[in-house]
């Protein structure tokens, strides 16, 4: 292997060595589990200092390609854990340690509301008298309906957003059906389509949402559903504008096909844009999902789903043969978090903090010579010359971001991006902005 690596290396710098080993791993020339040459062996063969090779190995470790086992040496990692879906699993490198992890997509734990007061409202004993009791707490349903972007026929509670979206797809699509997705989109959506035997049709986005002409062309293929994120789209952080939503609804109405619209409003409580949904114009074919993981905590595992009664009844009936319902104790916690003055204030403050972080980072990136617009929510999408080179450049400084490729149904070489999550970024914006700007130019 030593000769294989040294022969392929073009630049004897930390970046050049890391890039070469990365290409060999991703191309299959070096297999998972293989032991790499030692730092000293490679340094001697290349005629460089051990520090040069050591920095290259640190960068490779930072992006999850290799792991050091001390004196045993450095070994190539399996690219995806076996238990993890493939698209989602390509982000698994985020589990490795870094000085600053901007890859996770999870909220800042310090900005989540305190749970103590809400937990104190949960009954001391479970009070369900029957397996056929109401699926949703009446007070929670009234609270949610008051803020829903359109008047739904039926509302139910699910175990988070992905549970709701999976149930929606199972209810409205059949094996082999086409599903329109945003391009780029959230990787677990792509895994979900693959596991259900569905075919994703990617529709490019601009700053206002799906590109109308591309959606029109996709609808000519008669998809069963359209899966989109109306606010703080993951990964881009863009939001669907009111005018674009109305235009998309007009296009859908004009077609002979009758797709169901599935909307994932995963970050609504911490976004600065108002509620928006195609259900305002297409209420009889829109299933709207609202998640509270980003705003109130991922471990709550509570989401809301509402839409036409006929569709919701099928989804609720199917859940009766699985989880049955979402814990009413957790529904009580969510209701208290949504209505108690202290938690409402805490969420409002979190919204302002995330907004300020987005602006501060965008300004820092622009200051260092790269065009970038502030996003909404906790993620932002940075164009780079080379995704791999950008990640290696950042990893060499102990900074981790998410690779852009897993977010595409059909990756395009000219579309090179990384996703940056701001949940762990609360200071040093100028320094991080400079690193990101330099990484965006790396080749």
Minimum mean pLDDT range among 56-60, 244-248, 338-342, 417-421: 56-60
The answer to whether residue 126 is domain-embedded is no
Considering the domain architecture, whether residues 379 and 314 belong to the same structural domain is answered as no
Are residues 298 and 374 both part of a single domain? no
Owning domain of residue 317:
136-340
| Per-residue pLDDT, 251 | 97
Note whether 204 and 327 are same-domain residues. Answer: yes
pLDDT at 344: 94
**Per-residue model confidence as pLDDT tens digits over 225-265:** 999 999 999 999 999 999 999 999 999 999 999 999 999 99
Is-above-0.85 flag for pTM? no
> What angle separates helix 328-339 from helix 341-367, to the nearest 10 degrees?
70
Q: Of the candidates 307, 340, 373, which is a domain's last residue?
A: 340
Q: Out of 18-22, 147-151, 238-242, 299-303, pick the least confident.
A: 18-22
Residues 35 and 95 grouped into a single domain: no
Give, for 87, the enclosing helix (H) or strand (E).
helix 86-89
SS (H, E, C) 287-349: EEEEECHHHHCHHHCCEEEEECHHHHHHHHHHHCCCCCCCCHHHHHHHHHHHHCHHHHHHHHH
Q: Are residues 195 and 169 in the same domain?
A: yes
Average pLDDT along the chain: 89
pLDDT for the residue 303:
94
pLDDT at 173 over 90: yes
Residue 31: inside a domain:
yes
Output the domain CATH number for residue 47: 1.10.10.10
Residue 113, SS3 per DSSP: coil
pLDDT one-digit tens code per residue, 206-221: 999 999 999 999 999 9
In a domain, 316, yes or no: yes
Residue 14 lies in a domain: yes
DSSP E strands: which ranges in 139-268?
154-158, 178-183, 199-206, 209-210, 225-228, 260-265
The answer on pLDDT for 171 being more than 60 is: yes
Share of the chain above pLDDT 90, in %: 60
Q: Which of 149, 1, 11 is nearest to 74 (CA)?
A: 1
Residues 347 and 328 both lie in one domain: no
Domain holding 347: CATH number? 3.90.1150.10
98 with 245, same domain: the answer is: no
pLDDT of residue 393: 86
Pair 233, 290 in one domain: yes
Number of residues that this document lists for the chain = 443
> Does 280 fall in a domain?
yes
pLDDT digits (tens, 9 = 90+) for 286-304: 999 999 999 999 888 899 9
Q: Report the sign of the C-alpha dihedral through residues 161, 165, 170, 171, in that order.
A: positive
pLDDT computed for residue 82 by the predictor: 56
Per-residue pLDDT at 94 exceeds 50: no
Is the pLDDT at 23 greater than 70? The verdict is yes
Which domain CATH number covers 259? 3.40.640.10
Residues 64 and 155 grouped into a single domain: no
| Within-domain flag for 118 | no
Q: Quick one: which of 137, 183, 95 has its CA closest to 333?
A: 137
Q: Please identify, among 340, 361, 389, the residue that sits at the C-terminal boundary of a domain.
A: 340
What phi-psi label fits residue 107: left (phi over 0), alpha (psi between -120 and 50 degrees) or beta? beta
- Average pLDDT for 116-142: 81
List the one residue out of 430, 414, 374 whose CA is nearest residue 236: 374
- Helix axis angle, 138-145 to 328-339, nearest 10°: 40
Asked if 106 and 162 sit in the same domain, the reply is no
What's the token pair of residue 12? 């004897």
Is residue 117 a part of any domain in this protein? no
The pLDDT tens digits of the residues spanning 35-86 come to 888 888 888 888 899 888 888 888 887 667 888 887 778 888 765 555 556 6
Domain count across the chain: 3
In this structure, the answer to whether residues 327 and 401 fall within a common structural domain is no
**Statement to judge: residues 308 and 330 lie in one domain:** yes
Q: Which of 31, 51, 76 is the endpoint of a domain?
A: 76
CA dihedral 240, 243, 249, 254 (to 10 degrees): -140
Task: Judge whether 15 lies within some domain.
Answer: yes
């Amino acid at each position: 292997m030593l000769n294989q690596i040294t022969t392929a290396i073009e630049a004897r710098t930390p970046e050049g060595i890391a890039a070469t080993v990365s290409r060999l791993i991703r191309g299959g020339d070096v297999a998972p589990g293989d032991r790499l040459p030692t730092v000293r062996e490679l340094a001697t063969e290349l005629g460089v200092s051990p520090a040069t090779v050591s920095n290259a190995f640190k960068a490779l470790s930072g992006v999850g390609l290799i792991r050091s086992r001390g004196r045993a040496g450095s070994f190539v990692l399996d690219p995806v854990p076996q238990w993890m879906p493939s698209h989602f699993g390509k982000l698994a490198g985020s589990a490795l340690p870094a000085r600053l992890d901007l890859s996770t997509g999870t909220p800042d734990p310090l900005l989540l509301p305190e749970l103590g007061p809400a937990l104190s409202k949960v009954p001391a004993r479970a009070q369900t008298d029957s397996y056929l009791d109401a699926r949703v707490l009446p007070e929670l349903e009234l609270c949610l309906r008051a803020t829903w972007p359109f008047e739904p026929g039926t509302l139910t509670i699910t175990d988070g957003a992905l549970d709701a979206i999976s149930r929606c797809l199972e209810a409205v699509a059949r094996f082999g059906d086409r599903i329109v997705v945003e391009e780029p989109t959230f990787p677990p959506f792509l895994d979900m389509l693959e596991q259900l035997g569905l075919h994703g049709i990617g529709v490019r986005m601009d700053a206002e949402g799906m590109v109308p002409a591309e959606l029109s062309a996709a609808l000519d293929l008669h998809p069963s559903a359209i899966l989109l994120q109306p606010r703080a789209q993951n990964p881009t952080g863009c939001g669907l504008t009111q005018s674009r939503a109305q235009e998309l609804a007009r296009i859908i109405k004009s077609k002979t096909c009758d797709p169901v619209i599935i909307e994932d409003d995963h970050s609504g409580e911490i976004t600065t844009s108002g509620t928006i949904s195609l259900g305002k114009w297409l209420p009889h074919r829109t299933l709207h999902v609202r998640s509270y993981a980003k705003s109130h905590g991922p471990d709550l595992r509570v989401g809301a789903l509402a839409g036409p009664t006929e569709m919701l009844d099928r989804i609720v009936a199917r859940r009766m043969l699985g989880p049955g319902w979402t814990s009413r104790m957790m529904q009580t916690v969510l209701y208290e978090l949504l209505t108690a003055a202290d938690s409402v204030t805490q969420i409002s403050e979190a919204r302002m903090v995330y907004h300020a972080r987005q602006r501060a980072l965008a300004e820092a990136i622009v200051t260092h010579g790269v065009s970038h617009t502030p996003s909404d929510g906790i993620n932002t999408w940075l164009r780079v010359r080379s995704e791999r080179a950008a990640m290696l450049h950042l990893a060499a400084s102990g900074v981790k971001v998410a690779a852009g490729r897993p977010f595409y149904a059909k990756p395009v070489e000219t579309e090179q991006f990384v996703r940056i999550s701001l949940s762990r970024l609360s200071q040093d914006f100028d320094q991080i902005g400079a690193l990101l700007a330099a990484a965006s130019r790396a080749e």
